[in-house]
Chain A
């Protein structure tokens, strides 16, 4: 190592130290501690007196697997991810195609208008949507009534509560992925479409054979980020339904919050958080593998 390189390494350490220290102490350390915590019976008594803490091995995980409430939360979370995720990505792609269409004028205006829900505060718009979903005087049922559809108790009906939350989440989120799709679409060389038109390919075939394949990497990124985000659903059910009716919108993170911070069963709640983490990892691996095998 020359003197200059040694000097550079020393400067780099000084610049890196604050960020790495903060991330190590306030993120990596807690994540490791959560793993340890999930093997203990940490509860409200341990919170007052650490001597009462006991190591219980895999008991929290076994308890989770035997708890009907956890399976309900898991099922609800999967419902939200599997229905809401693809719906959100589809709406985003559709909106991006429309905004980016050659005959659309003022794309900047439409882009900003469609994006606006993304920058709003989730809690505030969840409050607004609670009223829009009201069975008697909510705007949604009024609109459906004009089409001759009977009023639906969106948030009070066990069948409709989750679709209602998904609809609200898609409304709130689709603009973000729309922007990423627009960037992806603008990276496709226009000559490709020209050549396809000369060869007589219609709009659908251009979309199927040029747009979709070239959008592949963007698609993978968007699908992954959406899935990871949707697995962590919390504020929507917290504000709109508190997990009800009859736990039909209870998500894993909401369960973790209730168990950990309301009842102080922190060992049990940590185990729930780790199950969620493993599911997210598995989902990520699965998507990476699927997309690698068959290019869209």
Chain B
């Protein structure tokens, strides 16, 4: 009896809750996948089905042939890829400067940047739109990329990582007569590899999942990213449940696979950001 109370009951409770939580977390995603493979009309039957009676890929085919989803997939990949590559370069240089150089106002400047993280991005959006309009960048890829090219959180993450690396390594390279850019490129960047991978995943996912800014900047439907295209598709095809689910799967799947493949780096990054923040 005592053993039951102290060992088995808590275990039942913990596992019961964990199973329930896992089920609730995954159920919407599993239903999305199942419904995307159902014949038209089956996802809106009653009682609801959890499994397709026959598996069909016709909705995926329709997305790529009739609804031009390949184009949006390309837009999303291109934009998220460009933002990631450029911001990684820009942020790592700045993070390196804050971590490894002494200069006037360094700490004050860094504190100002950190404090600015509480300013919601939406405050800047209206003037940013007008600014980009002046340069005819509305409805262009650059209009989406430019605001993401430098990122305070990215600079912060790189700086924190580099603080832990001893200066002696860099000094030795300087003694050997290596130029500053060469030191950054050939020594600092390889040292930062783990945090760069982490930051790359964060940035890519953030850019891929971003909705509000692409919605504002991209006015022509051929320029849409997947989330914008999906929200737009909902307007015309709200009745086509299975088709909408296939579109959702295609939007979610690339980032989900990226996470599953690089989970370790992603979770380490949250912990680093969370602990030191």
CB atoms of B147 and A27 under 8 A apart: yes
Question: Is B231 positioned at the interface, with any CB of A under 8 Å from its CB?
Answer: yes
Tell whether A139 pairs with B48 under 8 Å between CB atoms, given A30-B124, A121-B251.
yes
Question: Is B24 positioned at the interface, with any CB of A under 8 Å from its CB?
Answer: yes
Question: Would you give the 0/1 interface string for B200-230, flagging 1 where the beta carbon is closer than 8 Å to chain A?
Answer: 0000010011011000100000000011101
Question: Is B165 positioned at the interface, with any CB of A under 8 Å from its CB?
Answer: no
Q: Tell which of B22, B128, B277 touches A221, judged by Cβ atoms closer than 8 Å.
A: B277
CB atoms of B122 and A273 under 8 A apart: yes
Question: Is A22 positioned at the interface, with any CB of B under 8 Å from its CB?
Answer: yes
CB atoms of B251 and A34 under 8 A apart: no
Binds A, one of B55-63, B98-106, B190-198: B98-106
A138 to B249, CA, bound (A): 18
A257 to B277, CA, bound (A): 30
Minimum distance in angstroms from A273 CB to a CB of chain B: 5
CB atoms of B118 and A284 under 8 A apart: yes
Question: Would you give the 0/1 interface string for A7-19, flagging 1 where the beta carbon is closer than 8 Å to chain B?
Answer: 0110111111011
Within 8 A of A (CB), among B115-140: 116, 118-131
Contacts of B118 in A (CB 8 A): 228, 280-281, 284
CB atoms of A123 and B227 under 8 A apart: yes
Question: Is A5 positioned at the interface, with any CB of B under 8 Å from its CB?
Answer: yes
Question: Is A207 positioned at the interface, with any CB of B under 8 Å from its CB?
Answer: no
Look across to chain B and name the residue whose beta carbon is closest to the beta carbon of A141.
Answer: B48
A231 to B122, CA, bound (A): 11
Tell whether A18 pairs with B120 under 8 Å between CB atoms, given A116-B29, A132-B28, A137-B44.
no
Tell whether A122 pairs with B46 under 8 Å between CB atoms, given A127-B234, A131-B245, A281-B118.
no
Within 8 A of B (CB), among A269-296: 269-270, 273-274, 276-277, 280-281, 284
A132 to B50, CA, bound (A): 12
Contact size range, B = 35 or more
Question: Would you give the 0/1 interface string for A82-124, flagging 1 where the beta carbon is closer than 8 Å to chain B?
Answer: 0000000000001100110101100000111111110111111
Contacts of A129 in B (CB 8 A): 28
CB atoms of A122 and B211 under 8 A apart: yes
Question: Would you give the 0/1 interface string for B255-274, flagging 1 where the beta carbon is closer than 8 Å to chain A?
Answer: 11011100100110011001
Contacts of A183 in B (CB 8 A): 270-271, 274-275
Question: Is A179 positioned at the interface, with any CB of B under 8 Å from its CB?
Answer: yes
CB atoms of A235 and B120 under 8 A apart: no
CB atoms of A114 and B22 under 8 A apart: yes
Question: Would you give the 0/1 interface string for B54-93, flagging 1 where the beta carbon is closer than 8 Å to chain A?
Answer: 0000000000000000000000000000000000001101
Contacts of A270 in B (CB 8 A): 123, 126-127
CB atoms of A120 and B29 under 8 A apart: yes
Contacts of A239 in B (CB 8 A): 231, 234
Tell whether A19 pairs with B93 under 8 Å between CB atoms, given A123-B211, A123-B251.
yes
Tell whether A273 pairs with B17 under 8 Å between CB atoms, given A117-B25, A121-B208, A136-B46.
no
Minimum distance in angstroms from B147 CB to a CB of chain A: 5
Look across to chain B and name the residue whose beta carbon is closest to the beta carbon of A276.
Answer: B120
**Chain A binding site: helix, strand, loop or mixed by DSSP?**
helix
Of B44, B123, B227, B241, most buried by chain A (CB within 10 Å of CB) is B123
Within 8 A of A (CB), among B232-264: 234, 241, 244-245, 247-249, 251-252, 255-256, 258-260, 263
CB atoms of B227 and A121 under 8 A apart: yes
Question: Is A70 positioned at the interface, with any CB of B under 8 Å from its CB?
Answer: no
Look across to chain B and name the residue whose beta carbon is closest to the beta carbon of A12.
Answer: B101
Minimum distance in angstroms from B60 CB to a CB of chain A: 15
Question: Is B184 positioned at the interface, with any CB of A under 8 Å from its CB?
Answer: yes
Look across to chain A and name the residue whose beta carbon is closest to the beta carbon of B32.
Answer: A128
CB atoms of A221 and B274 under 8 A apart: yes
Contacts of A19 in B (CB 8 A): 90-91, 93-94, 150, 155
Minimum distance in angstroms from B247 CB to a CB of chain A: 8
Look across to chain A and name the residue whose beta carbon is closest to the beta carbon of B117.
Answer: A228
CB atoms of A117 and B251 under 8 A apart: no
Question: Is B166 positioned at the interface, with any CB of A under 8 Å from its CB?
Answer: no
Q: Tell which of A11, A124, A266, A276 touches B248, judged by Cβ atoms closer than 8 Å.
A: A124
CB atoms of B152 and A5 under 8 A apart: no
Within 8 A of B (CB), among A1-41: 5, 8-9, 11-16, 18-20, 22-23, 26-31, 33-34, 37
Offer 19 A-B interface pairs, CB within 8 angstroms, sorted by A: A11-B101, A12-B102, A26-B150, A31-B124, A37-B127, A95-B21, A116-B29, A120-B29, A120-B256, A127-B234, A128-B248, A175-B25, A179-B267, A187-B275, A234-B211, A234-B212, A238-B211, A257-B216, A270-B127
The interface of chain B, by Cβ under 8 A from chain A, is 10-11, 14-15, 17-18, 21-22, 24-29, 31-32, 35, 43-48, 90-91, 93-94, 96-98, 101-104, 106, 109, 113, 116, 118-131, 146-147, 149-150, 152, 155, 180, 184, 205, 208-209, 211-212, 216, 226-228, 230-231, 234, 241, 244-245, 247-249, 251-252, 255-256, 258-260, 263, 266-267, 270-271, 274-275, 277
In the A-B complex, the 5 residue pairs with the closest CB atoms? A19-B94, A33-B127, A12-B101, A180-B274, A30-B124
